[in-house]
Structure 1
């Protein structure tokens, strides 16, 4: 079933997503302030609307936190990704110049919504390119080193998780992993590789993941959560 978008006056558009794995209603507020609500098939949309209404104040607070945590960019700012450098320049909004790994982005005012959307779109394209170039190779390297086997690898612009492993051991990775330090990228890759053998998050899963992360699984998991979005 396709996702449905419902507009709330106070919090903006909310994406409704039925999820067969969900056991209850969960609200996620993303760094761009967008809202996703996932819920089981047995819960009606009216119940979801009522749940959202009860939690509008909480959602608004998280959106304000997302605003406060958003890095301000202006002319002269620089963003360094794994393989590229982005420079902010004053000029005609929407103009982009590329020279190998150097990308120049122009805007009359980087604080406008138009400029922010432009920057976010370009960053997403860069992260997708870098993820496709770097993540499958690193996954293969770690699998060989730790003795795992897996199926296909896909890169997605996922708003719900960092990665997943299917019943056929196909691994899906989030392109936004490219924002993370290398150590945490490796942790997520190992997390999904362990899922090729253990499909749950029970004690045996964490014991095995601990073994492959030098007994730092819980520590690294906590660090990854600091990069995650606000979830109710």
Structure 2
């Protein structure tokens, strides 16, 4: 069953993958609502399946959350990003145009998956540009203000977490952060900066993070969970 996709009733597609580095069974949900299960070589297929079924309620709950957060676009709708005003218009084909700070995303069919995917791709490129313009500078500003240091910073379209900090203190940030209010963006940046000093989520980590967020670390973490199932 390693690296095999299995259709499970009520749950959907589940990809099972054996991993030599895994010490436990890990379950995650992709943006398309399929499930990825990574597990150690010494765990039996029966144990893995039982683990999935045991977590069926949680899986369905997370998939339902993803569905409610799915981008729904209506004709003539407008949205504002950090830099741009975005309009969604009906057209004979899917296309995009930009004039100054105005971006027009034109869709042939507001109900089709193809048009939705096109709109999502356009928005992702907007967020990618904005993230590259804003996040490295803000990270450097917060690091200097609070006395942190790090090595490289990269911007990615990560589908699992908002950010991460490697053992070498390289920080990776999710371009989807551009969807968040500025205060929550700062919280994610500070979260990763604290990881340059403390590599776990133990009491010392939260104590340090509380010290620079006015004892609001857990509160801010809860606010972020309202936006996505991404982790930190």
Question: Which TM-score band applies after superposition, normalised by the shorter structure?
Answer: 0.7 to 0.9
Equivalent residue number for residue 88 of structure 1: 88
Distance 1:144 1:64, change over 3 A: closer
Computed over aligned residues only, the root mean square deviation of the Cα atoms, in angstroms, reads: 2.8
Once the two structures are TM-superposed, the CA of residue 54 in structure 1 deviates from its matched residue by 5.7
Equivalent residue number for residue 120 of structure 1: 120
Equivalent residue number for residue 67 of structure 1: 67
Distance 1:211 1:50, change over 3 A: same
Deviations 1:128-151 (A, max 9, x none): 111111111100000010011100
Distance 1:83 1:39, change over 3 A: farther
Deviations 1:89-128 (A, max 9, x none): 1112321112233221112221111111111111222221
Equivalent residue number for residue 24 of structure 1: 24
Equivalent residue number for residue 169 of structure 1: 169
Distance 1:103 1:147, change over 3 A: same
With the length of structure 1 as denominator, give the TM-score of the two structures.
0.84
SS in 2 for 1:161: coil
Answer whether contact 1:85 1:102 (CA < 8 A) is retained. yes
Question: Which one is further off, 102-111 or 135-144?
Answer: 102-111
Once the two structures are TM-superposed, the CA of residue 209 in structure 1 deviates from its matched residue by 0.9
Residues 177-196 of structure 1 mapped to structure 2, 5 A cutoff: 177-196=177-196
2:156, 2:20 → 1: CA distance?
20
Residues 138-153 of structure 1 mapped to structure 2, 5 A cutoff: 138-153=138-153
SS in 1 for 2:94: coil
Distance 1:85 1:5, change over 3 A: farther
Task: Considering Cα pairs closer than 8 Å and 6+ residues apart, tell me whether 1 or 2 has the greater RCO.
Answer: 1
1:68, 1:222 → 2: CA distance?
18
Once the two structures are TM-superposed, the CA of residue 184 in structure 1 deviates from its matched residue by 0.9
Structure 1, unpaired ranges of 5+: none
Question: Which one is further off, 85-94 or 8-17?
Answer: 8-17
Deviations 1:54-91 (A, max 9, x none): 65565345434432343421111112221222211111
1:158, 1:142 → 2: CA distance?
22
SS in 2 for 1:173: strand
Once the two structures are TM-superposed, the CA of residue 160 in structure 1 deviates from its matched residue by 1.8
Once the two structures are TM-superposed, the CA of residue 176 in structure 1 deviates from its matched residue by 1.2
Distance 1:207 1:61, change over 3 A: closer
Answer whether contact 1:157 1:175 (CA < 8 A) is retained. yes
Structure 2, unpaired ranges of 5+: none
Distance 1:215 1:59, change over 3 A: closer
Distance 1:130 1:7, change over 3 A: farther
Aligned residues: 229
